[in-house]
A = this chain, B = another copy of it.
Amino acid sequence: MDTTIWLESLLTKTPQEGYELAIKLSRMGVKSTQPDMEVLKKLRPVYANDAAGLTAASQVIAINFQTISAANNYWK
C-alpha cells in the first residue's frame, strides 16, 4: 500500500461525491491486493467486459457506499 495520504475523510459535500468516494475505496481494495499497475491495466478489460464481473464491482461499491452514507448521516 502506498504511504501517501489517499483517504483524508469519509465526509463529502454531496451524495454523488460520496458515491465517487465509494468507487475510490473499492479500487483501493483491489490495489492493496495487486499493487502492480501494469497487471491492473491488463485485468481491467477482463472484468469490464464481463457481466458477472461488472455486477460484482457494483456490489463492492454498494457496500462501501453504505459506509460513506452512514458517515455522512445520509446527507440529511
Question: Which A residues form the contact surface with B (CB < 8 A)?
Answer: 1, 5-11, 14-16, 19-20, 23, 25-30, 32-34, 39, 43-44, 46-67, 69-71, 74-76
Contact = CB atoms under 8 A, between A and B. Distances in A.
Secondary structure call for the A interface: helix
B49 A52 contact: no
Contacts of A29: 23, 57-59, 61-62
A63 B27 CA distance: 14
Contact of A55 (B1, B57, B76): B57
B65 A65 contact: no
A76 B8 CA distance: 11
> Most B CB atoms within 10 A — which of A20, A62, A64?
A62
